[in-house]
Structure 1
């Protein structure tokens, strides 16, 4: 059993396929079990299907169809204790919910791994 199976699943949400693919490869390469979603609506559907196994959501903020803040509100209404990390190059554009972590683009692979490890160890 790898560390991702022990820890649960990570839901990775980004409308940029290149960024999503690079982060998926990074996290899977470290043994995490990762589900991908292309936007907030896709994320909500996948979250509802695997809600009891998902331990962390990593989400872009600005996306078409449904942004990260809106999907966050729905996910936390379904599972109030879910841990969330937002990614954005435009964090000042929208007020962020209290207590969420933010990865400001551009970020390094090490930044991502440190943030994920820190949140999952708490």
Structure 2
């Protein structure tokens, strides 16, 4: 892993997960869970911010967990833009809505996981371990 994020005080021995959600409560909850599970966590409150962070620090980001429904750009649109930057990026999408109609399409496009909110710590941990393996 490169030292791009050293100014954020990240532990370079840990995997780094970028979380993207427009809801601060969800961001903070996921951060607390991932901190507890031993990951570095980078938070973004908008798809645009996430795309900028990923574009400049993609070599440091091991996984992206993003909300499916956000203003201005949804998770699928953001995923496609991330793939333009790095087609090997690993993304788990989260949604509070039923997305059964597009889950297959998302998985075919390369999303490594899709989870329905609310997620349990155990299910989140399993999805992350599977995505990073």
Q: Which category of TM-score, normalised to the shorter sequence, fits these structures?
A: 0.7 to 0.9
Three-state SS of the structure 1 residue aligned to 2:59 is: coil
Instruction: Kindly state the Cα deviation for residue 119 of structure 1 after the two structures are TM-superposed.
Output: 1.2
Query: 1:43-100 deviations in whole A, cap 9, x for unaligned?
Result: 1011112111111000000001221111111111111111110000224286242242
What root-mean-square deviation, in Å, do the aligned CA atoms of Structure 1 and Structure 2 show?
1.7
Instruction: Kindly state the Cα deviation for residue 14 of structure 1 after the two structures are TM-superposed.
Output: 0.7
Normalized per residue, the structure richer in strand is 1
Measure the CA separation in 1 of the matches of 2:22 and 2:125. Answer: 20
Q: Which residue is equivalent to 2:12?
A: 5
Is 1:54 the counterpart of 2:61? The answer is yes
Measure the CA separation in 1 of the matches of 2:83 and 2:98. Answer: 20
Asked if the contact 1:40–1:70 (Cα under 8 Å) also holds between the matched residues in 2, the reply is no
Q: Which residue is equivalent to 2:4?
A: none
Query: 1:12-45 deviations in whole A, cap 9, x for unaligned?
Result: 0011111110100110122201110112111101
For structure 1, the residue ranges without an aligned partner over 5 or more in a row are none
- Give the TM-score of the pair, scaled to structure 2: 0.80
Measure the CA separation in 1 of the matches of 2:28 and 2:90. Answer: 21
How many equivalent pairs are there? Answer: 118
Is 1:64 the counterpart of 2:45? The answer is no
For structure 2, the residue ranges without an aligned partner over 5 or more in a row are 1-10
The runs of 4+ residues in structure 1 deviating greater than 4 Å are: none
Q: Which residue is equivalent to 1:45?
A: 52
CA radius of gyration, larger in: 2
Measure the CA separation in 2 of the matches of 1:46 and 1:77. Answer: 14
